[in-house]
Amino acid sequence: MHFKNEKHKIIIVDFGSQVTKLIARRIRELGVFSEIINIKDLTKISDFTTIKGLIFSGGPSTVTKKEFPTIPKKILSKKIPILGICYGLQLISKLYGGTIKSSKNRREFGRAILIKRKKSLLTKNFLINKSQSVWMSHQDAVTKLPKGFSIISSTKNSKLTIIENKKKKIYGIQFHPEVTHTDNGRQIFKNFLFSICKVNKSWRVSSEKNRLIQEIKSSVKKDKVICALSGGVDSSVVALLINKAIKKNLICIMVDTGLMRKNEFKYSYNIFKNKYKLNVRLINASSVFLKKLKNVIDPEKKRKIIGNLFIKIFEKEAKKFKNIKFLAQGTLYPDIIESKSSSGSKTSKIKSHHNVGGLPKKMNLKLIEPLKELFKDEVRVLGKSVGLAESLRNKHPFPGPGLAIRIIGKVTTEKVKVLQEADHIFINELFKHNLYHKIWQAYAAILPFKTVGVMGDSRTYEYTCLLRAVVSEDGMTADYFNFPKGFLDRISNKIINGVPGINRVVYDITSKPPSTIELE
């Protein structure tokens, strides 16, 4: 694990909630390092001295069944403060002799109002008025208090929504303080960390730079590293970080898949070659990618094909040099967790991100992934400290499989060109109207059907372009962006007039969940 040296950390035991990552984020935002692990990894920990608190996440399981995911009992004897959230509360209650029932009458989804029953360290400055609004998502409820615990708050439907065992420093909450729908949920974490676990605020991502550089130096030694450089924030930060550690022994490979945004590839290549003076090799593989993607419709197949091809190209390039032992990638923490469903926790897999899920089983290069414990916004901060230009640092995220997953259905050269033009118009207009930096991610996509239109006096039969723009904190949840009046009309006009092949423009007004940010 990367952050071995952290003196104080909080461990989040993942029981499979889709929002477990948000717990880790909230804690890091408060200046404390946190790590998500599954039950299997929890059983492997032998030294608990740096662990100042444990959080049990929510999850899809129920303790009302005969078999349910649980923690090894010895963990409870470590005297480490525990906070259980949702399933975590139910598990704590079960382990200490409470009763949990599953019933439609007791379920709560959405907002609920807490009723204060008792003062607690956990709820200081949180339960301050009578209508504290929280976000609930549960079907099971604790109906009988476990031994040694007391009730801190209730709702109309659930008698036990916050419970505590002050002496043992064990707390349980039924709602989700990690989601923004819970008003002031951050305060719960603040109280747990600083009043209950008594941790120090010692985590700052910018101060990770030197440690990461040292770590790269000592693992790579005199060997060579090949780096997959796409020009996106993540791989750019990785390249600059590794360049600082091993200089000439870093060989960056930029693979032109032909699936990038218009002009983007040339622009990034020039910056890395001329501004940062990196050792960059350019590989033009667009025809190979398009050939392999021919007639492929299934999104997961597309992702796997692209991921595998990337690695093959790297391995082929690596063979041209001596001593290449490592492949560097800009894998992030959410990529790891989202692709990790098989390792013990139950988070269901939504998509294989190409830099994780698409990897071939047998690889001849060892992986270096210096960002694999970081969230996107943390990478941007790190980017600043390694000197990455603002224009690259604050670029919208772009998925590894590129435009292939924004051309729904079959990918063809013709569609790529059409999409690049439409997307270019959209993004340029966002910059022109000072909207680009207000949006987490924006793009154009092509839908897999043609519709009839009329231009001049002629009938047209062309593609539909879908525009997507979302606001988000980290890509895990997102809301569609509300454009100022008239903006979308203008874009639609510009695209229809400027891009032959498109005769209809639609705007996607779904959030994540229930949708995802990318269409495939």
Task: Please identify every residue annotated as catalytic.
Answer: 86, 176, 178
With respect to ligand XMP, which residue has the nearer C-beta, 172 or 299?
Answer: 299
Query: Residue 400 has which token pair?
Result: 């590894």
Residues that bind ligand XMP (CB under 6 A): 303, 350-351, 353-355, 397, 399-401, 441, 475, 512, 516-518
Q: How far is the CB of 226 from ligand XMP (least distance, A)?
A: 18
85-112 per-residue burial string, b: 16 or more CB within 10 A, e: under 16: bbbbbbbbbbbbebebeeeeebebeeeb
Q: Among 209, 511, 226, which Cα is nearest to 374's?
A: 209
With respect to ligand XMP, which residue has the nearer C-beta, 168 or 512?
Answer: 512
Q: How far is the CB of 332 from ligand XMP (least distance, A)?
A: 8
Q: Are strands 458-472 and 441-455 parallel, antiparallel or unpaired?
A: antiparallel
What is the distance between the alpha carbons of residues 473 and 25, in angstroms, rounded to a whole number? 10
- Tell me the helix, strand and coil percentages in the chain, rounded to 5: 35, 25, 40
What is the distance between the alpha carbons of residues 149 and 164, in angstroms, rounded to a whole number? 5
Contact between 159 and 174 (Cβ < 8 Å): no
Contact between 462 and 504 (Cβ < 8 Å): yes
Q: How far is the CB of 232 from ligand XMP (least distance, A)?
A: 7
With respect to ligand XMP, which residue has the nearer C-beta, 96 or 310?
Answer: 310
Report which secondary-structure segment, H or E, holds 280.
Answer: strand 280-284
Q: Among 29, 33, 32, 36, which Cα is nearest to 15's?
A: 36
Q: How far is the CB of 42 from ligand XMP (least distance, A)?
A: 27
Q: How far is the CB of 322 from ligand XMP (least distance, A)?
A: 30
Q: How far is the CB of 446 from ligand XMP (least distance, A)?
A: 16
With respect to ligand XMP, which residue has the nearer C-beta, 39 or 179?
Answer: 179
What is the distance between the alpha carbons of residues 144 and 490, in angstroms, rounded to a whole number? 60
- Compute the CA torsion angle 233, 234, 236, 242 (nearest 10 deg): 150
Q: DSSP letters of 314-341? A: HHHHHTTSSSEEEEE----HHHHHHT-G
With respect to ligand XMP, which residue has the nearer C-beta, 106 or 351?
Answer: 351
Sign of the torsion formed by the C-alpha atoms of 120, 121, 123 and 124: positive
The CB density around residue 13, as the number of other CB atoms within 10 Å, is 24
CA distances to 232, 330, 380 from 206, in Å: 19, 17, 10
What is the distance between the alpha carbons of residues 345 and 60, in angstroms, rounded to a whole number? 10
With respect to ligand XMP, which residue has the nearer C-beta, 192 or 398?
Answer: 398
Contact between 89 and 141 (Cβ < 8 Å): no
> Residue ranges of the alpha helices (H) in 36-185?
39-44, 87-95
What is the distance between the alpha carbons of residues 413 and 276, in angstroms, rounded to a whole number? 32
With respect to ligand XMP, which residue has the nearer C-beta, 87 or 440?
Answer: 440
- Coil/strand/helix, residue 375: coil
Q: How far is the CB of 205 from ligand XMP (least distance, A)?
A: 19
The residue behind tokens 């008698």 is 159
89 contact partners, CB below 8 Å, separation of at least 6? 142, 160, 163, 172, 173, 174
Q: How far is the CB of 441 from ligand XMP (least distance, A)?
A: 5
Q: How far is the CB of 343 from ligand XMP (least distance, A)?
A: 19
What is the distance between the alpha carbons of residues 262 and 245, in angstroms, rounded to a whole number? 32
Q: How far is the CB of 400 from ligand XMP (least distance, A)?
A: 3
Max CA-CA distance within the chain? 81
With respect to ligand XMP, which residue has the nearer C-beta, 124 or 351?
Answer: 351
* Residue type for position 490: R
What is the distance between the alpha carbons of residues 507 and 184, in angstroms, rounded to a whole number? 32
With respect to ligand XMP, which residue has the nearer C-beta, 53 or 400?
Answer: 400
With respect to ligand XMP, which residue has the nearer C-beta, 13 or 233?
Answer: 233
